[in-house]
Amino acid sequence: MKRYLVTFLILAGASLLLPAQRKTINLPDLPGFVTLKCDFHMHTVFSDGNVWPTVRVAEAYRDGLDAIAITDHIEYQPKKDYIPTDHNAAWKIAGNAAREGNIILVHGAEITRDMPPGHLNALFITDANALVKDSVYDAIEAAVKQGAFIHWNHPGWKSQEPDGIPKLYGIHKRLLSNGWIHGIEFFNDSEYYPNILEWCREYKLAVLANSDEHGIISESYPAHRPMNLVFARERTPESLKEALFAGRTLVWFDNTLAGKVEYARPFFYQCISIGKRFYETGKNYYFEITNKSDIPFYLVNGPKGAPSSITIPANASARVVLSKSFSGTLAYDVKNILTGTGEVLNVEIRY
């Protein structure tokens, strides 16, 4: 599509930077909190990404996100022959589009080192150029001094951990004991790392999910990108930051939800409602479970005498036919809500 000179034609106030509409992501709030949908890890032409920074805001706006961070690599600048390095450039360029689109734009950068410690994102920084340091320890300290939220990216990335399993090295333990790591990615791109859920519980870290997009979001993720659900008191940058440091998150990608059980359980119950019995035969009762969210739920391992599994698609209802002779508790494992290594959420359907 052509854009040149369009500025001279547009009516008062219209923006060229953003689409005119954004979709609603249909996910419930938790009582007392608003659910912010966020992606904190993306690249642009200011490191090894392939798009201009405003594209990241436009994609997020169209897709219904509340907050994003652009986190170009500090130490990897493959386009520098054509684009002079300024680690704050993407942040400066994207700001106006974010304001016009009501997107919370978090100032970020990716500290990009060999494993250990691998790659870490610094969010809520004030000057990315101050993170240029020889030592990774010094770079992280510089971010911490700016009040940054630091999270460890793709801890089991096969380019750095050939077996795909995240490991806590000495430097990670030192950073954790300093209080310099505040979150870990569970989903990154198409990978996920179940064993980090234990560390997030032990060290009180935020469980995170990010796209790590270098190209085009709509091409990489036709359905939806990996997404953080952050339970903030308000839809403000300050509340977002407080919620992240407090670890109030779940993560969602590709029909799987993951995180701490204290957020996963109430979130599930906010998503579903259980209808009244609408019909009965001599043998059975009939009722419906309705899922008001964009996430399907797969209930498995049902109790003896009840349906062994129930699938409740996104924005749909499942019909449950229950034997009148069943008198137990309708308890199920939700196969696609992960709460630990090999652990899924257990729920009870109160019909």
What residues between 295 and 334 interact with a copy of itself by CB under 8 A?
305, 307-308, 311-313, 315-319, 321-323
List C-alpha distances in Å: 98 to 70, 105, 219. 12, 6, 22
Instruction: Return the CA Rg of the chain.
Output: 22
Binding mask 214-233 for a copy of itself (x = CB under 8 A): xxx-xxx-------------
Amino acid sitting at position 251: V
**DSSP state, residue 128:** G
The residue within the footprint of a copy of itself, chosen from 31, 82, 163, 327 (CB under 8 A), is 82
Instruction: State the chain's maximal CA–CA distance in angstroms.
Output: 78
**Cα–Cα distance measured from residue 250 to residue 259, given in angstroms and rounded to the nearest whole number:** 5
CA 132 to chain centre: 27
Choice between 158 and 204, CB closer to a copy of itself = 158
Query: Measured from the CB of residue 294, what is the shortest distance to a copy of itself in angstroms?
Result: 10
Choice between 13 and 170, CB closer to a copy of itself = 13
279 lies in the site for a copy of itself, by CB under 8 A? yes
Choice between 12 and 223, CB closer to a copy of itself = 12
**277-301 burial by CB neighbour count: b if 16+ within 10 A, else e?**
eeeeeeeebebbbebebbbebbbee
Choice between 175 and 312, CB closer to a copy of itself = 312
Q: Per CB under 8 A, which region of 30-38, 50-58, 169-177, 338-346 contacts a copy of itself?
A: 50-58
Upstream peptide bond of 117 is cis (omega within 30 degrees of 0): yes
Upstream peptide bond of 222 is cis (omega within 30 degrees of 0): no
Q: Per CB under 8 A, which region of 133-141, 182-190, 245-253, 338-346 contacts a copy of itself?
A: 182-190
Binding mask 4-43 for a copy of itself (x = CB under 8 A): xxx-xx-xxxxx--x-xxxxx-x-----------------
The residue within the footprint of a copy of itself, chosen from 51, 94, 111, 175 (CB under 8 A), is 51
Compute how many residues bind a copy of itself; rule: CB under 8 A.
82
List C-alpha distances in Å: 246 to 200, 271, 273, 297, 319. 11, 23, 29, 27, 38
The residue within the footprint of a copy of itself, chosen from 38, 60, 69, 101 (CB under 8 A), is 101
Query: Measured from the CB of residue 208, what is the shortest distance to a copy of itself in angstroms?
Result: 15
